[in-house]
Structure 1
Amino acid sequence: MGWKGTVRSVGAAIRAADRDAKRRQRELEKERKYYEKMELLEQAEYEVRAFENYIEIIQSIHKECSDKIDWHRIAGSESPEVPQKATHNETKASYLASQYKPGLFDRLLGRTERRRAKINEAIPLAKEEDEKEYQSRLEEWKEQVADWEESKGMADRLLNGDKDSKIQVIRELNPFTEISNIGSSIFFQIHPNSIVEAEINVHGTDIVPSKKKTLLQSGKLSMKNMPKGEFYEIYQDYVCSCALRIANELFAILPENMVVVTAVDELLNAKTGHLEELPILSVAIPRKSLESLNMQMVDPSDSMDNFIHEMSFKKTTGFNPVDRVNITILSNEYQRR
């Protein structure tokens, strides 16, 4: 199992305590089975609840994170202790043999020696049982040592800045399942001075609904074009929420000090007149700054002011292309510290 066994709790990257929006989503999915049997007004109410739940989910991606791996603790851990051979079965059998006293019927029937021999025969069998138990513990110990050696080796390499090991951890643990399921793809690059860069293609127009579902006073379903201002605000929260989640996940699985997240999406390039994949948010997130935030209460868009970032956004027109945060400058600043 190796280091992946040591951090198996991270495996799915999702904590057992899901946020409320995800729990409600599962409840709605169960209700979906009975959708065809619902009355029209019930269907309308369901459609609105499902719509509102989806909006909440894409604006609160940052509220979840995998459990943190303490690579420093793993690197400083000691090898599992060698198991000691126990003799409790043999000791018990020997004690019973020493305590044997023939009873009246044993003496009358002349079976004292047979009973004594049978009791004594249990001693070597008990000794064999002790040996089996010891060999079993020894095999478990060997596996634990192999797991410890692999885990400690990985921790040492990560703390020494080994690029390949960092990429391996990201690929093996893959804590970005939720974001990928929504439809965003992520790419990574490892930089010196404990900086990792992530680029996410947010596919905003595919993720944020263009139609808004509401209930009329009559109880019927109304579906109209999403107001531009509301659409862009949801879009901005979604993008910033993804950036926070990516940084938090990377800090959870890697011993990095800084994560730079750049979100790209398809925008019109005014210079060429063509749609191109262009940066719409680029943010440098230090570990300490992120850890100081209350992820359950923070507004993802407003939280960008806590970090060095590039973002050009207007409620009326949405995102404009921006330059990426300069990784070289960040790296040099950390090197001077």
Structure 2
Amino acid sequence: MGLNFRKSIKIAPGVRGNVGKKSTSLSFGGNGLRYSISSTGKRRTTVGISGSGLSYSTTSGGAKSKSYKSPAYQNRQTLRQQQIQEKKELARFEVEMYQNMCDVLKSIHIEADEEVDWSYLATCPPPFPKNEVGPNEQTARQTLNNYKPGIFERLFKNDKRDVLEKAVNDARQKDAELYEEWEKLKLLSERVLSGDLDSYMQVIEEMDPLQDLSEFGSGFEIGCNDASTIFVQFDVHSNSVIPINEKTLTKAGNLSVKKLTKTKYYDLQQDYVCSCMIRIARDLFALLPIHTAYVHAYDEQLNTETGHIERYCIVSAKFDRATFETLNFAFIDPSDALNNFKHNMKFRKTLGFAAINELTEED
């Protein structure tokens, strides 16, 4: 049997000091309600009904009790924490993807094709003098002339001369193709500089400057009446491009998906449309020696008079090269930037675009 030691000392009415083997404590109150503070930090509150033998105690503080939870329970808790963390990581990824997509829709105009110097291409010298040995054949022939079969190649009749002679013929063909490409490019450059409209269409078809915009579902119609002006119609397809839901993180790091407000939706749509229009003009000015580009944006909208979805022109702009070249495309707001050019656009923040008429050369 262990020996226990406990002594209680009255300090004041309702206050007692208790000295035990492992700790000391102070207790306050009477039989119905007592509150004790131990030197270990433990606090106990006891409420009882005098004379009934009934009481209720609560304990807080002090040393933490030992955990007797099973390894299986601990594993489940660990797995649950991992799942929560993975869910938050996925939520963060989805929000980043949403934000990146919105940034892309508003910055399509920043990247564009490099400008083609048709004057340089028209006067660029040939890759080598005509009717002379080209650079690829020279290299292949030098390899053939320097080839000397070794003793084992002669012994086993593994002479590589036939292979090297074939390489010379292939190199000669490659040089012929290189010279032919130079002739075609020179001729095309001369036609472009002379204002040949068919050559304009050939450049657009072969170089396909608006290919990446097609990834957004945009369709294009391009035409020109003279060598200085080009016209482009393109379909916006807002319904399939502009997101309708906004994704954010809660304070706890969980995913929150809410429908975009009309103001946010139409603001993003306006920036997307204007960014596309500026990008189209940039590519055309880079590829062709034109002075003016008319760009007309079309979208499908509900006609509330007929109840049918109809295709309308929603923005039309006349871009001139001189003004265009003064813009710093990395820092412009695409919707604001249209104010630098003559344009038609009816836009309200809570209603979006309304149908307008295309600009013409007479406007």
**TM exceeding 0.5:** yes
- Partners of 2:84 and 2:283 in 1: how far apart? 41
- Partners of 2:84 and 2:285 in 1: how far apart? 47
Q: Determine helix, strand or coil for the equivalent of 2:252.
A: coil
Deviation at 1:157, TM superposition (A): 1.2
The equivalent of 1:120 in structure 2 is none
Deviation at 1:167, TM superposition (A): 1.3
Q: Determine helix, strand or coil for the equivalent of 2:284.
A: helix
* Equivalent position amino acid for 2:255 in 1: L
1:202 aligns with 2:249: no
Residues 13-57 of structure 1, C-alpha deviations (whole Å, 9 max, x = no match): xxxxxxxxxxxxxxxxxxxxxxx9971111111111110000001
1:188 aligns with 2:222: yes
Asked whether the equivalents of residues 294 and 319 of structure 2 are also in contact (C-alpha less than 8 Å), the reply is: yes
The equivalent of 1:65 in structure 2 is 112
Which has more strand, going by share of residues? 2
Instruction: Point out where structure 1 has 5 or more consecutive residues left out of the alignment.
Output: 1-35, 88-131, 331-337
- Partners of 1:50 and 1:189 in 2: how far apart? 37
Q: Which of the residues 267, 286, 289 maps onto 2:323?
A: 289
Asked whether the equivalents of residues 109 and 329 of structure 2 are also in contact (C-alpha less than 8 Å), the reply is: yes
Asked whether the equivalents of residues 196 and 227 of structure 2 are also in contact (C-alpha less than 8 Å), the reply is: no
Deviation at 1:193, TM superposition (A): 4.0
Asked whether the equivalents of residues 61 and 241 of structure 1 are also in contact (C-alpha less than 8 Å), the reply is: yes
Asked whether the equivalents of residues 45 and 219 of structure 1 are also in contact (C-alpha less than 8 Å), the reply is: yes
Specify whether residues 207 and 38 from structure 1 end up closer, same or farther in structure 2 by C-alpha distance, changes over 3 A only.
Answer: farther
Residues 182-233 of structure 1, C-alpha deviations (whole Å, 9 max, x = no match): 2211121122141111111000122111111111112111111101111111
Task: From the CA coordinates, give the structure whose radius of gyration is larger.
Answer: 2
How many correspondences in the alignment? 251
* Equivalent position amino acid for 1:264 in 2: Y
Asked whether the equivalents of residues 82 and 138 of structure 1 are also in contact (C-alpha less than 8 Å), the reply is: no
Q: Which of the residues 229, 238, 241 maps onto 2:263?
A: 229
> How does 1:231-270 map onto structure 2 within 5 Å?
231-269=265-303
1:155 aligns with 2:189: yes
Q: Which of the residues 90, 99, 108 maps onto 1:52?
A: 99
- Partners of 2:262 and 2:329 in 1: how far apart? 27
Asked whether the equivalents of residues 197 and 227 of structure 2 are also in contact (C-alpha less than 8 Å), the reply is: no
Give the share of equivalent positions with the same residue, in percent: 36
1:76 aligns with 2:123: yes
Which structure carries more relative contact order (alpha carbon 8 Å, separation 6+)?
A: 1
TM superposition score normalised by structure 1: 0.68
Which has more helix, going by share of residues? 1
Q: Which of the residues 200, 208, 215 maps onto 2:249?
A: 215
